[in-house]
Structure formats: structure tokens, C-alpha cells
Structure 1
Amino acid sequence: MRRSAAVLLALALAATALPARAGSEPAATRKPVEKTFLIPAEDGYGVGECLSGGPSECGQVVANAWCESQGFASASNYGVAAQDEYTGAIDGAAPVKSAPRPLRITCQD
């Protein structure tokens, strides 16, 4: 009697453990999350000099700090945003005074 009760208990535990395990997704199959932020070039903090000068140690440090403050692990890309990233690339009349292009930081998990 004790042996059959132990076998039933073991089967019950195994049956409840298998569905819980089958629903969990391994970390390797999760899609990486990326998000691109557009930051005004003249935001008043002076980070534009580091981010707009091309790949540099200063730019990477600033971009990583920005991403960490937004809840991401690090920056995968940064620099001056292309026109089609912030205007939709719509042709139109040229503005009288052009504003500096915004900066772009792409963050990743």
C-alpha cells in the first residue's frame, strides 16, 4: 500500500512539473529588444559633441549611459540621425533656417 501511494505521488509530481517546464522559453530563443531614441542635438547637456563625431570612446560611454537610464543594457548604435529617421523623408519646401539634426541612439537588451 505504501509503495503504490509513493508511486502515485511521484507520478503526480512528475505530471505537474512537465507542463510548467514545457511552457517556459529558454533565454536563447527570446528576441532581442532594440529601441531607437531621437535626442535633440542642442539638449543643453553637451552630449552632442560626443555622439555626433562618429564612433569614439566618449560617444560609446554617453550612449551606454543613456540606454542604461532608459532601462536597456547597452547601446548598439549611435550618431546623427538621417533625415528619413525623423521627417518621414517627405519632400517639401526648404525651411528658412535649418535646425541641427537630432542625435540617434539605438539601445538593446
Structure 2
Amino acid sequence: MSSITLPSIAPGRRRKLFRGVLFLISGALALFALGISARAAPSHVLIIPPDDGYGFEECLMTKSACGTIVADAWCEANGLKASKAFGRTEDFAAIAGEEKPENIGPGAFFVACGDKI
């Protein structure tokens, strides 16, 4: 049987190769970390009091098509992109996947919007 021999690499070239591999690995880790931080960025959350006078509480509570329209309108009126989530503030953590903002009155609603337009 014949054996395959690999060419030997001079010590100076090994060092350059090693640095190149480390550079690629560190670049990949940096991109991965940026991707995680972009996904973990908090939403812009709007809190809507239950007695605001508009009468759309039922839409936001039932997750109906009218709820999406109302939530998107609130986001756009505040200079933000379309809504990501909406509902009662009691269900905020389960729906939005984030911690509930403090100082929210009972019966209020939230709309989590995308970044600024």
C-alpha cells in the first residue's frame, strides 16, 4: 500500500495560517453575536389605556383581523413600522416574549411595533 504524505509547512507559514483561521473564527463569532443582539432588541411598545374612548378593545382582545388593523394604525401614527404583537397587558410576557413594562394600569392594552419608519 502506498501512503500519502502531506507537504510540510514551514513554521512561519503555519503561524500565518493559524492567524488566518483565528481571524475567520473571530469574524464568524462577531457576526453571530450581532445577529443575536439584533433579534434581542426590544420592541417599541405602546400602552393604550382601557378608557381611551376609541372603543377598539374587543378587536385587540380577540386577535381578530380588526385587531391587526388597529395595532398597525397605532404603530404608524407613532412613526413606527407595523405591529409585531398586541393584546391585553396581562398577557404581555406570553404574547410579546419580553418582560412587561412597569407602571401599567389594569385593563390596558399593548401594541409592540417594529422600528421607526
- Number of corresponding residues: 70
| Alignment partner of 1:38 is 2:37 | no
Task: Give the 3-state SS of the residue equivalent to 2:55 in structure 1.
Answer: coil
Q: 1:1-109 to 2 correspondence within 5 Å?
A: 31=38, 34-53=43-62, 55-82=63-90, 85=100, 100-109=106-115
Q: 1:34·1:108 contact (CA, 8 Å) conserved in 2?
A: yes
Structure 1: runs of 5+ lacking an equivalent? 1-28, 89-98
| Same amino acid, percent of matched pairs | 33
Structure ranking higher in helix proportion: 2
Structure number with higher relative contact order (C-alpha < 8 Å, ≥ 6 residues apart): 1
Letter of the aligned partner of 1:105 in structure 2? V
